[in-house]
Amino acid sequence: MNSKHLLFGLLLFSVIGWGQINFEVFVSKKQLGLNERLRVDFKIDKPGDNFRPPKFSSFRVISGPMQSVSNVFTNGKRTYSMTYTYFLTPLQQGVYDIEQAQIEYEGNTYKTTPVTINVTEAVAIPRDPNDPKNIVDEKLHLVAEVSKRSPYVNEPIKIVYKLYFAQNVNPTDVDVVDMPKYNDFWSYSVDIPNRDVATSIYKGERYNYVEWRKVVLYPQRAGKLEIKPLSLDVTVNVPTGKRDFFQRVIYTQVPKLVSAGNLNINVKPLPSEGQPDNFSGAVGDFSIDLSTTKKQLKANESLQAKVKISGRGNLRLFSLPSLQTPSAIEQYEPESKENIRSNLSGMSGSVTQSYTLVPQYQGKYPIPAVEFSFFNPKTKRYETIKSTEQLVDVSEGPSMNRAVNPATPSTAVSIDTPFKFIALDTSFVAINPSVFFGSAMFYGLWISPLGLLLLFAIYARRQRKQLGDTEGVRMRTANRMARKYLSEAKRNLNNSEEFYVALERALHNYLKAKLKMETADFSKEKIKNILSQIGVEEPLVNDFVSVLENCEFARYTPSSVKAMEQDYANTAKMITQIDKQL
C-alpha cells in the first residue's frame, strides 16, 4: 500500500514539474565600468509569443534583440529553449535595474525578475589605434559655433552646429537623438537646403564638415542662460586596415552618439541710465518715416497715415509708437504689416502701421512728428529718432466750431464695432400647443422598451454562441493582435528596432489566425508550403517571406525610414490580398 502511495506521489510531482514555465534573465556581469558593454539574455523553456523587453532607460542598446531557438532530443527527452539577446552600454554611473521583461504562453503572461547592475567609473582599457571604435571616437565631433557669448537682452546671436569628421571616415546615416532647448530665448531656424561637405582646420588638422543646423536666438532676460545640447546618433564607415581580393579597402560600420555639449550664454541687461520714457524694447539700428496718402482732400474723405520703422534688429519683439492726430480728424485702429527677412545675420526689413484718418471739418491740420527710441548694441547707448511732420489741407466741408480746439488729440475709433446689428433671430410660441398623450412620441416611448429587450436577448444569445466556439475565439484574438501590432508598427516608423519587432509580431499573429499555426512551427519553408497549399499565389507568398526576412535582417543592420515605409505598405497590401484569396 505504501509503495502505491509513493508511486502516485512521484507521478504527481513529475506532472507538476513538467507544467512549470521558466522565464529567466541572465547578465554577463553585475558590475561594469562606464565604458564597458553588458550582455543580457532573456530565456524561456517554452515557445512563448509577443515578447516585450524592458525599457533599458539607463542604458543604450548597442544591438538586439537577437533571437535564438534550441530544440534538442536526448534519450527520447525533449529540451527546448528560446533566447532573446541584447548588448547594452550604460549612460552614466550609478546603480540601475534591468526591469522585468514579459512574454505570453497559452494565454498567460510571464515576467522575469529585475536584476541590479552597478555602473562604476570608466575602467582602463588599452586603446587599439586600429580599432574602428577608437578611430570614430577620435575622428568624429559635433561642435556648436556661437557668434557671441555675452550679448545684450534682445541682441541676436547665431549658433551653427557642425559635424566634423576625418577624411578617412564617412558618415552614412544620422538620426537626431535630442534637440536643443532654447528656454528664455526667442528663436528661429535657418533652412539648410543642401548639406554639402566642406573642409576646414579643426584642432590643427584638416577635417571634412557638414553644417547640420543653424539657429538665431534673441535672449529675453539677463543672466546666465543654459542651452541644452544637440545630440546625434551617427553611423560611420571606418576602414578596417584590411583589403579584399581586388586590393580595395574593407570598411565596417560603427555607431557613435555625439553631442555638442551644454552652452552657457551670459546675457547683459540693457542699461537703465539714459533709458527714454518711450523705449519699448527695440534693440538694433533703425530709421523712422511718417507719410500720408493724400495731402489735400475734402471733409469726410479718408486718407492713410503710415508709421514705418525700418532697419536691422528685433523687429518682431517691440511695439511701434502711436500716432497722435488733432481732434477734428477721426482716427481708426491701425493695421499692421510686416516685411521682414529672417536669415543667419538676424532680422531685417520694416514694420508698418497704417491709420485710417477722416477729417470732419475744413482747414489745415498738422500730423505731429512721431518719436521712436531704441538701444544700439554697437554704440552701447540709447538713440531717439524723429519723423517729419505732415500737413493735411481739407479744402471743402463744414466749418469747425470755435469752441473746439483743432490741436486736441483725437481718440481712435474701433473699426470692429461702429454699429450694433439688427436682431435677425426670432422666437415664436405656438398658439395651440400639441397634446403629448396619444401622440406619435407617446406610442414610440411606450413600444421602445420592448424593442430594447428583444435586441438584448438576440445579443446575449450570440455572445453565448461565440464563447462556446473556443477555436473561433482563439482565431479572433490572434487576428485582433495582428491588427494591433500592425498599427503599433505604423506609430514607430521613426524607430527601426520597435518598428520591425511590431511588424514581425503582426505577421506571426496573422499566421496564427489564418493558418492555425503556433509560434514553434514558424519556419519560412513551412509557411511557403502552407500558403501555396491553400491557394495563395506564388508571388504573394514570396513577398510575405521577403518581409519576414527583412524583419530578421533589421535586428543586425539599421534601416532607413523609406525602407520601413515600403515594408509597412507591402505588409498591409499582402494581408488584404491574402484575405481576398482565402
**In the chain, domain spans:** 21-120, 132-267, 290-309+318-413, 470-581
Distance between CA atoms of residues 307 and 292, nearest Å: 9
Place of cell 510575405: 544
pLDDT value of residue 209: 93
Q: Which residues pair with 20 in a beta bridge?
A: none
- The answer to whether the 290-309+318-413 and 470-581 domains have the same CATH topology is no
Identify each DSSP E strand in 127-282 by its residue range.
Answer: 140-146, 157-165, 170-178, 185-190, 198-202, 205-219, 223-227, 231-243, 249-259, 263-267
Tell me how crowded residue 289 is: count the other CB atoms within 10 A of its CB: 15
Q: Quick one: the chain helix, strand, coil %, rounded to 5?
A: 25, 40, 35
Structure letter (DSSP) for residue 316: T
Percent of the chain with pLDDT over 90: 30
Residue 109: C-alpha distances to residues 49, 440, 443, 478 (Å)? 10, 55, 53, 15
Distance between CA atoms of residues 155 and 570, nearest Å: 52
Cα angle, residue 113 at apex, residues 108 and 116 outer, rounded to 5°: 155
Distance between CA atoms of residues 84 and 110, nearest Å: 15
Distance between CA atoms of residues 37 and 87, nearest Å: 7
* Helices 470-491 + 561-581 axis angle, to 10: 150
**In the chain, which stretches have pLDDT less than 50?**
1-18, 402-404, 413-421
Q: Could you tell me which CATH number the domain at 290-309+318-413 has?
A: 2.60.40
Those residues with Cβ within 8 angstroms of residue 184's Cβ, 6 or more apart along the chain or in another chain? 219, 220, 221, 225
pLDDT value of residue 566: 81
Its CATH class, for the domain covering 470-581, is mainly alpha
Tell me how crowded residue 326 is: count the other CB atoms within 10 A of its CB: 24
Distance between CA atoms of residues 283 and 148, nearest Å: 16
What phi, psi does 155 have (nearest 5°)? -90, 130
The grid cell for 412 is 481712435
Q: What is the pLDDT of residues 384-393, one digit of tens each?
A: 999 999 999 9
Q: Which residues pair with 66 in a beta bridge?
A: 85
Alpha helices in 402-537 (DSSP H): 440-468, 470-491, 496-515, 524-533
pLDDT value of residue 13: 39
pLDDT value of residue 508: 76
Cα angle, residue 229 at apex, residues 215 and 150 outer, rounded to 5°: 60
What phi, psi does 53 have (nearest 5°)? -75, 165
pLDDT value of residue 12: 42
Q: Contact 361/326 with Cβ under 8 angstroms?
A: no
- pTM over 0.85? The answer is no
Its CATH class, for the domain covering 21-120, is mainly beta
pLDDT value of residue 536: 77
Q: What is the pLDDT of residues 191-212, one digit of tens each?
A: 988 888 999 998 888 899 999 9
Distance between CA atoms of residues 535 and 506, nearest Å: 21
Q: Contact 411/348 with Cβ under 8 angstroms?
A: no
